[in-house]
């Protein structure tokens, strides 16, 4: 007779010698087998069958590998959602995050510089040069007017007049050039240069977010409130990426599995209220049927005659309010009583 407990044993494969708590799973399997045998022998109450308590564990792991630096919990502790569980060595991730932060700051500074254009002192220097060019142009225009009058009277040569005109034209071009340079300095970089700087800043920001995420993954907190069922590594051990370090048992994930004979399963429905009795506890616990297996279990293929159908059992799962489920422990044998 083989009993498979919803992947509990499968999920634990490959964890090596650090896995503890395996006897409880095997104990659950043996209890399940015993419950089935007893269910077929107990005809005192047609509405009562036997089962066992089962827990669906939450295995907390880091997607990053590293040595286990600190373990903040112990087996048997109760934790709340968000409580720290463990942390791995994070020297490499911290350095990568710091480098990404500096590169992002550099990219932002470059973008700001491209947007603001020249520095105030550079703009002041360009303005001073433009004033000097205006002064030179004013002087050359006056000299050209004087030379124009003199050449008409024959007091100077044509060459001197042409020289004065060339000087005036050069000063005009100088004023235009310096004026354009000043306007460009005030505008800042070209649009395409600013776009390139923005893209660089966004890439650096994304790299920083990735580096921060990698660093955050080296420490794990409890995703749910519950019992620390087991710790699978000791401090100082190397933890491969994706391997669980802590297994949690949230109260809402504790359930009872009972096995109902096939001849009685027609009277059981999802949502039915049931009473679960535990050895040593006087008052039964109230739960409800949450799942009825579509397949019969623990029997070889048979022809479904009336005699053979009486040997079949169907697995039924019962869920509880989290406050009630906290009083149940995986591996306990229980009696499940359905309504008449």
CA distance 280 to 328: 12
Higher pLDDT, 289 or 13: 289
Same domain, 112 and 200: yes
Where in the sequence is the domain holding 17, given as residue range(s)? 8-57+249-338
In a domain, 281, yes or no: yes
Confidence (pLDDT) at 30: 44
Confidence (pLDDT) at 301: 47
CATH number of the domain at 175, please.
1.10.287.470
Q: Considering the chain, what percentage of its residues have pLDDT values greater than 90?
A: 38
Same domain, 24 and 107: no
- pLDDT of residue 311 exceeding 60, the answer is yes
pLDDT tens for each residue of 41-93? 444 577 788 888 889 999 999 999 999 999 999 999 999 999 999 999 999 99
pLDDT tens for each residue of 22-44? 444 434 444 444 444 444 444 45
Same domain, 112 and 38: no
* 3 state DSSP class of 133: helix
Domain boundary among 183, 212, 241: 212
Task: From 231, 234, 236, 227, select the one nearest 246 (Cα to Cα).
Answer: 231
Q: How far is CA 319 from the centre of its chain?
A: 30
Burial 3-39 (b: 16+ CB within 10 A, else e): bebeebeeebeebeeeeeeeebbeebbebbeebbeeb
Which is it for strands 219-221 and 285-297: parallel, antiparallel or unpaired? unpaired
In DSSP terms, which residues pair with 54 in a beta bridge? 255
Highest mean pLDDT among 156-160, 240-244, 283-287: 240-244
- pLDDT of residue 21 exceeding 70, the answer is no
Cβ–Cβ < 8 Å for 309, 263: yes
Same domain, 53 and 101: no
Tell me how far apart the 2 most distant CA atoms of the chain are, in Å.
144
Domains in the chain, number: 2
Confidence (pLDDT) at 24: 43
In a domain, 103, yes or no: yes
CA distance 141 to 156: 17
Same domain, 201 and 254: no
- pLDDT of residue 100 exceeding 90, the answer is yes
In a domain, 20, yes or no: yes
Domain boundary among 186, 212, 238: 212
In a domain, 225, yes or no: no
In a domain, 178, yes or no: yes
Same domain, 272 and 204: no
256, two tokens? 């009872």
Same domain, 101 and 189: yes
CA distance 31 to 333: 7
Cβ–Cβ < 8 Å for 274, 289: yes
Residue 1 CB burial class (10 angstroms; 0-12, 13-18, ≥19):
exposed
CA distance 180 to 175: 9
Same domain, 110 and 195: yes
Domain boundary among 187, 212, 237: 212
Q: Which helix (H) or strand (E) holds 125?
A: helix 120-153
Confidence (pLDDT) at 282: 83
Same domain, 138 and 42: no
pLDDT tens for each residue of 189-234? 667 788 888 999 999 999 999 999 999 999 999 999 999 999 999 9
CATH number of the domain at 327, please.
2.40.30.170
Cα radius of gyration rounded to whole Å, the chain: 42
Same domain, 140 and 208: yes
Same domain, 105 and 203: yes
- pLDDT of residue 303 exceeding 50, the answer is no
pLDDT tens for each residue of 138-195? 998 888 888 888 878 877 788 888 888 888 888 888 888 888 888 777 766 667 788 8
Confidence (pLDDT) at 44: 57
Same domain, 128 and 179: yes
Cite the beta strand spans of 23-150 per DSSP E: 48-55, 58-61, 66-71, 78-79, 84-88
Task: From 256, 230, 264, select the one nearest 245 (Cα to Cα).
Answer: 230
- pLDDT of residue 8 exceeding 60, the answer is no
Q: Quote the pTM value.
A: 0.60
Mean pLDDT rounded to a whole number for the chain? 81
CA distance 117 to 119: 7
Highest mean pLDDT among 167-171, 220-224, 285-289, 309-313: 220-224
Confidence (pLDDT) at 27: 46
């Amino acid at each position: 007779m083989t009993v498979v407990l919803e992947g509990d044993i499968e999920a634990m494969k490959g964890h090596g010698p650090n896995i503890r708590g395996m006897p409880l799973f095997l104990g659950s399997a043996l209890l399940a087998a015993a419950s089935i045998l007893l269910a077929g022998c107990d005809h005192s109450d047609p509405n009562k069958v036997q089962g066992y308590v089962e827990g669906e564990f939450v295995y907390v792991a880091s997607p990053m590998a590293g040595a286990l630096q600190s373990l903040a919990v112990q087996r048997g502790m109760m934790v709340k959602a968000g409580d720290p569980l463990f942390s791995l060595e994070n020297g490499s991730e911290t350095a990568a995050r710091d480098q990404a932060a500096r590169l992002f700051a550099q990219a932002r500074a470059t973008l700001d510089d491209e947007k603001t254009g020249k520095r105030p002192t550079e703009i002041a220097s360009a303005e001073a040069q433009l004033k000097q060019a205006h002064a030179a142009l004013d002087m050359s225009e006056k000299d050209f007017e004087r030379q124009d009058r003199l050449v008409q009277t024959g007091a100077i040569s044509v060459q001197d007049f042409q020289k004065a005109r060339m000087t005036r034209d050069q000063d005009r071009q100088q004023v235009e050039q310096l004026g354009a340079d000043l306007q460009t300095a005030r505008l800042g970089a070209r649009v395409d240069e600013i776009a390139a700087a923005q893209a660089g800043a966004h890439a650096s920001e994304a790299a920083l977010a990735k580096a921060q995420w990698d660093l955050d993954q080296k420490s794990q907190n409890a995703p749910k409130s519950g019992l620390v069922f087991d710790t699978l590594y000791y401090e100082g051990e190397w933890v491969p990426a994706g391997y669980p370090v802590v297994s949690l048992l949230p109260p809402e994930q504790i359930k009872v599995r009972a096995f109902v004979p096939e001849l009685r399963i027609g009277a059981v429905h999802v949502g039915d209220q049931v009473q679960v009795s535990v050895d040593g506890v006087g008052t039964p616990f109230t739960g409800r049927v949450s799942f009825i297996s579509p397949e019969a279990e623990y029997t070889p293929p048979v022809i479904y005659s009336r005699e053979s159908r009486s040997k079949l059992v169907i697995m039924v799962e019962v869920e509880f309010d989290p406050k009630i489920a906290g009083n149940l422990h995986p591996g306990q044998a229980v009696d499940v009583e359905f309504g008449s």
